[in-house]
Amino acid sequence: MRPTTVALIVAVASLTLMASAPSPSWTVTADRNGGSKCAVCTLLVALVEQTMQIKNATASQAAQMICSYLPKLAGDACSIAMDILVPIVGPLIDQGDTADAVCNALHLCNNESGQTCRLFPAKGAYKSHDAWAKHVNDLRVATMMRHRAKIEQGLRSFNICTIVPAVCEIEDHRPFFDTDSDMFSTYDALRGSFWRGKDCDDLDAQIFPGRDTNDAFLDSNCNGIYGVDPSTQKTYEDQWCAGTGSMGVASLGDSATAHFRLPADYLIARGLSKDVFKNVLRLIENEADWPMLSWSTGHLDASQFSPDVKGPMSSIYHRMLERNRCNMRDFQNVGVNGASVHNLLPFEGVLARNRNAGLSLKPIFVVMSMIGNDVCGHHHDFNEMTTVEQYHKDVLAAVKNADAMLPNGSHVLLVPLVDGRVLYDTMHDRIHPIGSTNNDVTYADLYDYLNCLDISPCWGWMNSNETVRNMTTEHAMKLGAELPIIVQETQGQLTNIKVHFLGNLIDDGLKRYHGPMWHLIEPVDGFHPSQTGNALLGDFVFNKSRDAGIIPPANPNNAEIIAKFGDQGGY
């Protein structure tokens, strides 16, 4: 796999160990003027500088404090790197050079495009753009001439593929630990049971969530319901689940589907501690995503992930389980950072619900929710956006393939792109977490900085140019307008599924919130729905789907199932 994507970089930019995190093989990595490595360096050095300020410490002391907060493997790698790098850049930090200047000195930032990117305000004699640009260029030349070999040695000291090797070996978004290759796992992270219902027998490829079986002796579908009722001689599965409309749910989407987020505490120097970073390796194993708390497949309480996440949890799956306990563990989240409609067909290939595999399977509700990346990306060019013709072609192909593979009685919901202008309108003048110590970095500053480095997750909407934002929305709306056309076009052609379009679900769902809109946006990247936003969307999309007749009626046997099987094995 290639080096880190923009989304993952933004998520873990405060951690040196993430500088070489992997990305899916189909993702295009841009980077100019230092790109992602520049961003990582700048945010890390900023945390060192802010820790110096708060703790009245030297650069070396502050750097070692931050390393000591990380889990052992990461902390050891961080310490080795800092032992090499701090003697080189420590004097620059101690004399008051900004994080931008220091990272230019390390040559992780440069001006290859002719533009010197800057996140923080320049200081002292270097406040003018020309003076600052000359200063950082002089630092870059002098430092690299004297210390190039040591700098390269320090940067090699932290490599995520050494610290968490499995992250670099995940292919095709399948569970890393899956002994029987049925695409379900007993391990939670690394695309395991946080992403798909937990396998209850990883040695038998015919036992997994979503099977349609009567389970007299074995729990073949992992919903925790099995055995025979001695009073009726019927299996509990037949007695309490058959004919109740039991149905799974799966989401094929992008980073908003996967619920990408980084705890804001990672970038607030005043609160850094071992407790803040205690779960960072789990974050890495989940690609900085939180599918177990997402709007489509959330199934755990956010309090289980304190202090990383706070807020309510509700999802389509959670509400479907409340409605029918026979749906236990029947969920799949195939959300991938950076995905677009072009990835829908490949994602269907890792959706474990192919009726042609020779096993009886329950119907499934598939949500196709590519809501941004067909107009988003790092390119400063509208021509790089998905065309209307290609968008129509890719979605139509995915719908037809779903009909060819999914069990009869399944449903597919097409979710259009959002109006992302809400991001800049809501966030631009607010202080970003990395600027919270000195109130010196706004989201507008961050957006422009990421665009300068050519690593913005969405140049079109995370942009201070209103015309660009409006044109991006205009194209997004044109793409979304193809979805009801596809629904109409496929009427009478589909034999196993029903396809639905229920309007601008994400936009309409977020508008129902009565508090400040910034509550609904992730504070670190200023781009994705927050935990509160995810819960709001989970309820809204479920209710709209229920009202449209997609969600079957409630199972009248739920009380009996709970009385007999309790939590049905949990997660």
Which residues are known to be catalytic? 255
Collapsing DSSP to helix, strand or coil, 447 comes out as helix
CA–CA dist 329, 145 (Å, integer): 58
**Torsion 502-505-507-513 (CA) sign:** positive
Cβ–Cβ under 8 Å, residues 351 and 250: yes
Taking residue 183's Cβ as centre, other Cβ atoms within 10 Å add up to: 23
Q: Let me know how many helices (H) and strands (E) the chain has, helices first.
A: 21, 9
CA–CA dist 277, 271 (Å, integer): 11
What are the b/e assignments for 57-71, b being 16+ CB within 10 Å? eebbebbbbbbebbb
Q: Which residue has the tokens 């995915």?
A: 398
Q: Which residue has the tokens 């933004």?
A: 10
For residue 420, count CB atoms less than 10 angstroms from its CB and return exposed for 0-12, middle for 13-18, buried for 19 or more.
Answer: buried
Helix (H), strand (E) at residue 80: helix 72-94
For 84-140, give the DSSP string.
HHHHHHHHHHHTT--HHHHHHHTTSS--TTS----SSPP-GGG-SHHHHHHHHHHHH
CA–CA dist 497, 92 (Å, integer): 63
